[in-house]
Structure 1
Amino acid sequence: MNSNWFKFLMKLMKVEYGKKLLLEGVPVIFKKSGAKLVVGENVTIKSSFLSNLVGLYQRTIIIARTPEAEIRIGDNVGISGATIYARKSITIGENTLIGGNAKILDNDFHPIEIEARNADVKEKIGTRPIMIGKNCFIGCNSLILKGTVLGDGCVVGAGAVVSGKFEENCVIAGNPAKVIKRLEISK
């Protein structure tokens, strides 16, 4: 399937996207009726195995799963084989790079309580918005969990498991992720 055909399908699904959207391979992009999915200008979405030499395990998956879900991807963002899955809200600032196989999940996918999980009570799934600032870099195979806030200019190390609020211009790494360095910004 060529990218023009896929862009046509995105328009049918009422996915908003800006000029110069580049699709390398075929991503999985879906939004529930009523949800909002906005992709900025000059965004690159890589979804084929060799489109990123880190080695992608999957196509990029971007899903706004509930009618109230909202995903906003800023201008000049690069995404490689990542999963971005919202039941509430995920915002990704401009000039942010999302490394190979990263996962950005604003929810737990299943209720934590046994009874609710066994009964598959979707209303009991824990959700909290995610905010990723401008000019961030999310390293390959990292996991960004619900409620995370990354200030502008943050760098997330490869394989990090990130939860919480982080000031701008921090390098964050580990499991659980913590600040390991503050970046000096030249003026």
Structure 2
Amino acid sequence: MENITGQNNEFTLIFPHNRIDCTSSQNDKFNKIINQANITITGNNNRISMYFDTEESAEELLLSNGFLLIVKGDNNIVNMGTIILRYSTILGMTGLKLIIGQLPGLGAGVSRTANNCRIDIGNRVVINGVTLYLQEDDSYVSIGDDSQLSWGIDIWCTDAHTITDLKGEPINFAKCIEIGKHVWIGKDSKIGKNVKIADNSIVGWGSIVTKEFNEPNVIIAGIPAKIVKRGINWDRRCINKYLKERL
């Protein structure tokens, strides 16, 4: 495939009753779609698996202007569940950008790779405008089922540059970002490296999250983010609809 280069790469679309390996099958329809999509994979032994309810939903997402996937490196894994992707230039919803290794637009002479990274996105995750970036080898990002992410959100499992002690030893290694199940992340929030957000939690609008929050059912907000309310849960429906349907 024109935009997937290297050895032993796999790009698999998984449906309820069948699966299509786009890098080895003769499925002309999806081979053409992948070549037209905003997808670039450079390296060896990378594994991409994307889950869809229907072939129509797969085609819609892959050809959306709001979907970008870049992988530059070896032995990386991306597992993406049945997400709900929203893209709107009017509202500023930019969709989903998944990037491992090379950020686009860095200019000539700037080449970065990342190896042995992993991204796991669960099912029924609503994504309106998220950039997810991994640059450190062996780093990992997960987003749990039923989460909802607004727009203007950066999830960076890296500082992009190196911080050292006075002896020149790096001190800002990135390991993972773990976002639990049923987590709502508000508009313009930033999630940094080595962060954990527990299940059924909310990240307030414009927050910068820089540490682990292991307690579930909390609201975290602020710069840097801290727990501002405990004992909460949330629902995707607006209050009017929620009250009517709860009766």
Superposed displacement of residue 9, structure 1: 5.2
Cα distance in 2, alignment partners of residues 35 and 142 from structure 1: 26
Give the 3-state SS of the residue equivalent to 2:33 in structure 1: helix
> Residues 7 and 183 of structure 1: is their aligned pair in 2 closer, same or farther, counting only changes over 3 Å?
farther
Cα distance in 2, alignment partners of residues 94 and 7 from structure 1: 29
Q: Is structure 2 residue 174 aligned with structure 1 residue 127? A: yes
> Residues 12 and 61 of structure 1: is their aligned pair in 2 closer, same or farther, counting only changes over 3 Å?
closer
Contact 2:39 2:69 in 1 (8 A): no
Alignment match, 2:8: none
Name the aligned partner's letter for residue 71 of structure 1.
Answer: I
Q: Is structure 2 residue 171 aligned with structure 1 residue 138? A: no
Alignment match, 1:35: 76
Cα distance in 1, alignment partners of residues 143 and 232 from structure 2: 22
Q: Is structure 2 residue 195 aligned with structure 1 residue 159? A: no
Matches within 5 A, 1:1-187: 5-6=33-34, 13=41, 14-20=47-53, 21=58, 23=61, 24-32=64-72, 33-40=74-81, 42-50=82-90, 53=91, 55-56=92-93, 58=94, 60-65=96-101, 66-86=114-134, 87=136, 88-113=139-164, 126-166=173-213, 167-184=215-232
Contact 1:25 1:48 in 2 (8 A): no
C-alpha offsets along residues 62-113 of structure 1, whole Å, 9 cap, x if unaligned?
Answer: 1122111111000111112211112311000001111101011111111123
Contact 1:109 1:125 in 2 (8 A): no
Cα distance in 2, alignment partners of residues 94 and 8 from structure 1: 29
Superposed displacement of residue 28, structure 1: 1.6
Pairwise CA RMSD of aligned residues?
3.1
Give the 3-state SS of the residue equivalent to 1:15 in structure 2: strand
Contact 2:218 2:232 in 1 (8 A): no
Cα distance in 2, alignment partners of residues 137 and 129 from structure 1: 19
Name the aligned partner's letter for residue 61 of structure 1.
Answer: K
Name the aligned partner's letter for residue 89 of structure 1.
Answer: Y
Q: Structure 2: any 5+ residue segments left out of the alignment?
A: 1-29, 42-46, 102-113, 235-247
Name the aligned partner's letter for residue 107 of structure 1.
Answer: T
Contact 2:85 2:95 in 1 (8 A): no
TM-score by length of 2: 0.62
Count matched residues: 175
Cα distance in 1, alignment partners of residues 115 and 183 from structure 2: 28
Q: Percent identity?
A: 27
> Residues 60 and 185 of structure 1: is their aligned pair in 2 closer, same or farther, counting only changes over 3 Å?
closer
Name the aligned partner's letter for residue 95 of structure 1.
Answer: D
> Residues 35 and 155 of structure 1: is their aligned pair in 2 closer, same or farther, counting only changes over 3 Å?
same
| Structure 1 stretches of 4+ moved >4 Å | 6-14
Superposed displacement of residue 183, structure 1: 2.9
TM-score by length of 1: 0.80
When Rg is computed on C-alpha atoms for both structures, the one with the higher figure is 2
Contact 1:64 1:71 in 2 (8 A): no
